[in-house]
């Protein structure tokens, strides 16, 4: 694989002639570059009028590699052939270099270019590109690539410092101005005398020495170039290789992408998301650009108008900035009726609103960069979870959340700088265990959680927000205009016909299983728990009738009919001969559920074995006390024309190691912000905790 490097434009705020004088001080040796052992001139040539001066040198560089690698290679230094073409008339210096040592195994090429700044003739621009192709090197190809590129990029920065050092030296010695070249009269008979013999080289075949040479291949239109000072000032500090990736990806887009080129900040986010792996970042960015075009995201801020229920009940909004100047977004998720909003506006409208928030976040980052005079490329989110309960685990809502996370991760990478979570309740680990696998690891590292109430003290919000920015609902002094949320009235819900048009009913039915409960014949679902501490979660809607919901633990597995592997058993499963309290036990108190209700809940198991979720018709207090049907109930059920109760249900078992890690994180951050952990350290939640949430 060929490794490539491409620099941005570096600017010396000195005239070209003075920079050339500083450059010449690097030869024949340069103590400021320890790996540069020395050079000798192989050949030299001047044009008739003296405008073009070509020099070819042999340069020796010390091999900065592990001793074993040097011993295997049998060399302590490598030789490069460098050819410089200095054109005083055009005020350009073109430099080409290639390796002579190990040329049959390794090919190293470098092109550099000094030119006059297009907007200021008293400034000098510098660009360079390089490529490394290791074809064969004693089995150490990968190692050599890493060492060579690391050493090369280290010398890139050093090269700029060397030129600046010699510029300062010239000025301190009184040389602050060198006159520009002017043509001198040349007699025809003097032309031959100005030719100086030189040694032949492989570079001879590349054409006339006063031509532009291969270095011009890296040149693009001046207005399309990236300036190194601009990168430092507006995008932040990047290593030479990171700068190179940005320049290469930007140049590739200019050549291949039809339409508007993304802003440099946007391109850089995709590079960071893929750890500056150029090919991966390019693929990710191209997919995102296609997505933006397909969904017309570029004009979203001009066209999107949130429906009235979103404006009133979506508890999120922008609120000043954090202590680092990042725009601050506040989301009061615990106060937000996510299920009601889904039923009132639909999943697509919620997604569009989330996208508009991300678009606005990028716009605010650009504004804060200008306001504070330093690069700000990401924003901070303050997530208040007070009020979070099992209703927020409504599965269509969780499924929609996962979809939004996926879309944002794919198209807005590295836009979230920090997520501050406050007032997290005990139900939070259940939600976190559900969504965390779908969040990129780089993003997860930015999640900080505070479960205690003293979040305004040391280690709390004051570490990330100025005191006059902390919102009033968290005990601060800043009036926060973010909507308070609240329950969405059912009168605002979409009709079934509108939901069908949006394909919501079909999507929800794909998530749930339907069940019919006959009088005297309970409906049960068996779930096998292989280890003691796991989490069973459930979510069901009562479509018709009233039921009693219970959860049991059985010491032995019920006799099940043959079924496909991995399919949970359902129906009436508890054997009639079983005795409550002996063969099986109730681990959740019976819950009466009325028609039209939606119930969400969870249970942290204490023992391995079979757990049974049970629904049975609610008719009298006696029926709640006994789970097995009587003779009269069976006879009634046999003569009943149809089911007495209908429900849609969903249940899931969360891995104990994931839940324990989330619970440990929650319990370890009661007095300070802590990073969310995915470890499987022992949890102090060994005792069972459970609960169901009824939402009407």
- For residues 280 and 76, what is the distance between their CA atoms, to the nearest angstrom? 36
| pLDDT at residue number 598 | 86
- Taking the C-alpha atoms of residue 362 and residue 370, their distance in angstroms, rounded to an integer, is 13
Of residues 677 and 312, more confidence is placed in: 312
Of the pLDDT bands very low, low, confident and very high (cuts 50, 70, 90), residue 602 is confident
pLDDT at 282: 96
Task: Report which listed range, 149-158, 228-237, 565-574, 630-639, is most confident.
Answer: 228-237
User: Greater confidence, 446 or 560?
Assistant: 446
- Burial zone of 109 (CB within 10 Å; 0-12 exposed, 13-18 middle, 19+ buried): middle
- CA angle, corner 64, sides to 58 and 66, nearest 5? 140
Q: In this predicted structure, what is the pLDDT of residue 199?
A: 39
> At residue 33, does pLDDT exceed 90?
no
Residue 3 pLDDT class (50, 70, 90 cuts)? confident
pLDDT digits (tens, 9 = 90+) for 203-258: 333 333 333 333 333 333 345 788 999 999 899 999 999 999 999 999 999 988 87
Which position has the higher pLDDT, 77 or 93?
Answer: 93
User: For the residues of 452-494, what is the DSSP string, one character each?
Assistant: SS-TTSTTSGGGTS-TTTSBGGGT-SB---S---BPPPGGGSP
- Of 26-35, 90-99, 125-134, 140-149, highest mean pLDDT: 90-99
Distance CA 100, CA 626 (A): 91
Q: What percent of the chain has pLDDT over 70?
A: 82
Per-residue model confidence (pLDDT) at position 404: 95
* CA-closest candidate to residue 646, choices 546, 506, 573: 546
The pLDDT, as a whole number, for residue 156 is 80
Got the DSSP string for 204-230?
GGG--TTS--GGGGG---GGGPPBHHH
Q: What average pLDDT does this structure show over 352-366? A: 97
Choose from 156-165, 359-368, 522-531, 664-673 the range with maximum mean pLDDT: 359-368
Q: Examine the pLDDT at 127 and tell me if it is beyond 60.
A: yes
* Range from 135-139, 275-279, 648-652 carrying the lowest mean pLDDT: 135-139
Q: Between 62 and 174, where is the model more confident? A: 174
Bridge partners of 110?
97, 130
Q: Is the pLDDT of residue 660 over 60?
A: yes
| Residue 111: predicted pLDDT | 95
Rounded to an integer, the average pLDDT of 394-405 is 90
> Closest Cα to residue 87, out of 56, 49, 126?
49
Separation of alpha carbons 252 and 235, rounded Å: 19
- Where is pLDDT greater, at 220 or 404? 404
Which is higher by pLDDT, 506 or 247? Answer: 247
By CB atoms closer than 10 A (0-12, 13-18, 19+), residue 259 is exposed
User: Quick one: which of 393, 345, 365, 337 has its CA closest to 264?
Assistant: 365
Q: Indicate yes or no: pTM above 0.85.
A: no
Instruction: Report whether pLDDT(638) > 60.
Output: no
pLDDT of the residue at 559: 65
pLDDT at 491 over 60: yes
| Burial of 549: CB neighbours in 10 Å, binned 0-12, 13-18, 19+ | buried
Taking only the tens place, the pLDDT of each residue in 147-160 is 677 777 777 878 88
Question: Residue 681 corresponds to which tokens in the numbers above?
Answer: 């350290």
Banded model confidence at residue 518, pLDDT cuts 50, 70, 90: confident
**Per-residue confidence at 22, pLDDT binned at 50, 70, 90?**
very high
Query: Please, what is the angle between helix 264-273 and helix 278-295, to 10°?
Result: 120
Q: Peptide bond preceding 28: is omega within 30 degrees of 0, i.e. cis? A: yes
List the one residue out of 533, 354, 357 whose CA is nearest residue 433: 533
Phi, psi for residue 13 in degrees, rounded to 5: -85, 55
Is residue 685 within 8 A of residue 663, CB to CB? The reply is yes
DSSP string, 52-81: EEEEEEEEEEE--S-HHHHHHHT-SEEEEE
Residue 596's pLDDT band, with cuts at 50, 70 and 90, is: confident
Question: Is 368's pLDDT higher than 60?
Answer: yes
CA angle, residues 428, 429, 432, in degrees to nearest 5: 85
Stretch 616-636: mean pLDDT: 54
Provide the pLDDT for residue 137. 73
Q: Is the pLDDT of residue 460 over 80?
A: yes
Collect contacts of 206-210 with beta carbons under 8 A, ≥24 apart.
206/96, 209/45, 209/52, 209/54, 209/83, 209/85, 210/47, 210/52, 210/54, 210/85, 210/87
Q: What is the token pair recorded at 161? A: 């410092």
Burial of 6 (0-12, 13-18, 19+ CB in 10 A): buried
Residue entry with tokens 């532009």:
212
| Mean pLDDT, rounded, of the chain | 83
From the number of C-beta atoms within 10 Å of its C-beta (0-12, 13-18, 19+), residue 397 rates as buried
Distance CA 635, CA 633 (A): 6
């Amino acid at each position: 694989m060929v490794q490539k490097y491409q620099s941005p434009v570096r600017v010396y705020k000195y005239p070209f002639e003075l920079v050339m004088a500083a450059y010449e001080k690097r030869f024949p040796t340069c103590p400021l570059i320890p790996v540069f052992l020395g050079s000798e001139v192989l050949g030299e040539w001047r044009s008739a009028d003296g405008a073009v001066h070509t020099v070819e040198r042999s340069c020796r560089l010390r091999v900065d590699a592990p001793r074993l690698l040097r011993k295997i290679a049998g060399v302590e230094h490598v030789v490069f052939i460098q050819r410089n073409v200095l054109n005083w008339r055009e005020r350009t210096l073109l430099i080409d270099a290639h390796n002579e040592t190990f040329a049959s195994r390794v090919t190293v090429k470098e092109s550099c270019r000094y030119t006059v700044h297009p907007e200021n003739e008293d400034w000098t621009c510098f660009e360079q590109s390089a490529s490394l192709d290791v074809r064969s090197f004693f089995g150490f190809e990968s190692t050599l690539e890493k060492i060579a590129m690391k050493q090369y990029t280290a010398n890139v920065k050093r090269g700029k410092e060397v030129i600046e050092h010699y510029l300062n030296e010239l000025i301190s010695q009184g040389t602050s101005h060198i006159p520009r070249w002017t043509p001198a009269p040349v007699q025809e008979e003097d032309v031959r005398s100005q030719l100086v013999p030189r040694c032949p080289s492989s570079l001879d075949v590349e054409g006339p020495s006063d031509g532009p040479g291969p270095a011009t291949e890296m040149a693009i239109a001046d207005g399309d170039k990236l300036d190194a000072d601009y990168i430092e000032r507006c995008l932040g500090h990047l290593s030479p290789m990171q700068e190179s990736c940005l320049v290469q990806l930007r140049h590739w887009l200019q050549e291949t992408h039809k339409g508007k080129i993304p802003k440099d900040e946007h391109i850089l986010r995709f590079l960071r998301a893929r750890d500056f792996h150029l090919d991966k970042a390019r693929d990710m960015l191209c997919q995102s650009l296609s997505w933006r075009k397909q969904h017309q995201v570029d004009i979203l801020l001009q066209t999107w108008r949130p429906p009235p229920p979103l404006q009133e009940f979506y508890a999120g909004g922008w609120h000043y900035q954090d202590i680092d100047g990042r725009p601050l977004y506040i989301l009061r998720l615990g106060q937000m009726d996510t299920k009601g909003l889904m039923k009132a506006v639909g999943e697509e409208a919620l997604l569009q609103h989330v996208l508009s928030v991300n678009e606005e976040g990028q716009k605010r980052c650009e504004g804060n960069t200008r306001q504070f005079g330093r690069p700000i490329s990401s924003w901070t989110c303050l997530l208040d979870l007070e009020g979070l309960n099992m209703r927020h685990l409504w599965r269509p809502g969780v499924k929609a959340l996962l979809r939004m996370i996926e879309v944002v991760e794919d198209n807005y990478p590295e836009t979230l700088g920090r997520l501050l979570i406050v007032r997290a309740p005990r139900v939070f680990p259940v939600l976190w265990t559900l969504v965390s696998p779908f969040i990129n690891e780089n993003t997860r590292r930015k999640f900080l959680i505070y479960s205690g109430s003293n979040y305004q003290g040391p280690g709390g919000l004051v570490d990330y927000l100025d005191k006059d920015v902390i919102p009033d609902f968290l005990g601060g002094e800043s009036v926060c205009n973010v909507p308070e949320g609240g329950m969405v009235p059912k009168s605002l819900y979409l009709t079934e016909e509108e939901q069908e048009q949006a394909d919501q009913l079909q999507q929800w039915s794909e998530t749930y299983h339907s069940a019919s409960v006959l009088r005297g014949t309970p409906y049960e679902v068996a779930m096998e728990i292989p280890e003691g501490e796991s989490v069973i979660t459930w979510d069901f809607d009562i479509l018709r009738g009233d039921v009693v919901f219970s959860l049991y633990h059985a010491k032995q597995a019920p006799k099940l009919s043959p079924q496909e592997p991995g399919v949970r058993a359902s129906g009436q499963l508890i054997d009639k001969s079983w005795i409550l309290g002996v063969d099986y036990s109730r681990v959740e108190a019976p819950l009466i559920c009325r028609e039209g209700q939606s119930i969400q809940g969870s249970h942290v198991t204490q023992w391995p074995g079979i757990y049974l979720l049970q629904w049975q018709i609610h008719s009298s207090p006696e029926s709640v006390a006994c789970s097995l049907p009587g003779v009269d109930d069976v006879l009634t059920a046999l003569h009943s024309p149809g089911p007495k109760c209908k429900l849609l249900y969903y249940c899931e078992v969360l891995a104990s190691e994931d839940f324990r890690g989330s619970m440990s994180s929650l319990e370890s951050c009661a007095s300070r912000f802590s990073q969310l952990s995915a470890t499987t350290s022992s949890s102090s939640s060994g005792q069972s905790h459970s609960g169901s949430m009824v939402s009407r």
